[in-house]
Amino acid sequence: MGRVYRPTRARAVKPQRCTVGVDIGGTKIAVGVVATDGSVLAEKTLPTKSHTGFADGVGRIAAAVREVILESGQTKEDLLGLGIGCAGPVDPLRGEINNPHTLPGWPGAKIVPALAREFGLPVWLENDADAAALGEYYFGAGQGVDPVVMLTIGTGVGGAVIMRGGIYRGVDGEHPEIGHIPISFAGQRCYCGRSGCLESIISGPAIADAGKKFGLETAAEVFAGMAAGNAGAAAILADVQRALDAAIWTLLHTFSPARIILGGGLVDAQAEFFTAAARQAQKSAHLVARSTVDIVPARLGNRAGLVGAAGWALRRSESPGEPAVRPGHAFSLSP
């Protein structure tokens, strides 16, 4: 039988420069071969199952990477490196995952040296929120502008800041915790030790929790309730709107971003509501350059982390010397 032409399959693609992206979450891991224009040549998803231990996990990731390389029609020689975005806390300096919350079976997991040994390629590890923001910055809603702030609203609330082409980091490479911007002095107790944090008001579980008083079980039911004229649901979402307004105001005045991208599962489901609420803050913010700031929904959905990790590996492989990392100091983001 003759060779069947399948235009969607990557085997028809000629060898090109590409990197591997790995996006590790608490329940699943996505692995893909990504070309320099952000197109995914082949990808695969596997369950995380961190309880089976890190040796098992890294073995399954390596097997999946080998599979996607084969399926992409590329060879190992075409690969410039591997980028990993992982649910934090992670230590990008040591290439180590330390996430007792959603990856409890992988304490001190030295994933960077393990995969570097396995494939003989450079490997970089970043927080998954940073990887997703990089994905939007390189290939999605953040293209062509800088700095970019991404606010992610879903089961949790978080985000990342991309500045001068790199990841904004604090001391020791720490990741900013945008979900814990204080909104209300009298709000719900948050697990971070404070009360009234952004996350404890606008996350999916927070909205669902507030809905229970009115017989609404999920965030989706609260949104449907508001559309159906339920006064309780409308009051909950008015609070969400005010909290988001305050958070956007804070981000605008703290970072002076060129663009704020709203992402995450809840925004994907209710993009119009969240974008409109966020733009309210922008309208009255006369201390920021309003004409050059915009607020937009994310474009890459749950693929942002995968392509962002891969894009970061591409950039780092092209300029391995930066950003300079010195433990104990802020990262130097030389342009």
**Helix pair angle (111-119, 54-72), 10° resolution:** 40
Whose tokens are 């913010």? That residue is 285
Between residues 158 and 166, which has the closer beta carbon with respect to Zn ion?
158
* Angle at 15 (CA atoms; ends 9, 21), nearest 5 degrees: 70
Q: Does position 84 bind Zn ion by CB under 5 A?
A: no
Q: Looking only at residues 193 through 232 of this chain, which bind Zn ion when binding is defined by CB under 5 A?
A: 197
Q: Say how many residues touch Zn ion, by CB under 5 A.
A: 4
180 versus 303: smaller Cβ distance to Zn ion: 180
**C-beta of 188 vs 275, nearer to Zn ion:** 188
Count the Cβ atoms, other than its own, within 10 Å of residue 309: 34
Q: Is 183 an interacting residue with respect to Zn ion (CB under 5 A)?
A: no
Nearer to Zn ion, 184 or 282 (CB): 184
Q: How far apart are CA 277 and CA 58, in angstroms?
A: 42
Angle at 107 between CA 24 and CA 97, to 5 degrees: 40
189 lies in the binding site for Zn ion (CB under 5 A): no
Distance between CA atoms of 40 and 29, rounded to whole angstroms? 15
Nearest distance in Å: CB 317, Zn ion: 36
Q: Which of 192, 228, 231, 276 binds Zn ion (CB under 5 A)?
A: 192
Q: Is 260 helix (H, G, I), strand (E, B) or coil?
A: strand
Member of 169, 180, 303, 316 binding Zn ion (CB under 5 A):
180
Among 18, 68, 131, 190, binds Zn ion (CB under 5 A): 190
CB of 192 to Zn ion, least distance (A): 3
Residue 242 backbone phi and psi in degrees, to 5: -65, -40
Which of 22/157 has CB closer to Zn ion?
157
Nearest-approach distance from CB 23 to Zn ion, in angstroms: 25
Q: What is the DSSP string of 99-121?
A: -TTT-TT-TTB-HHHHHHHHHTS
Q: Which residues bind Zn ion (CB under 5 A)?
A: 180, 190, 192, 197
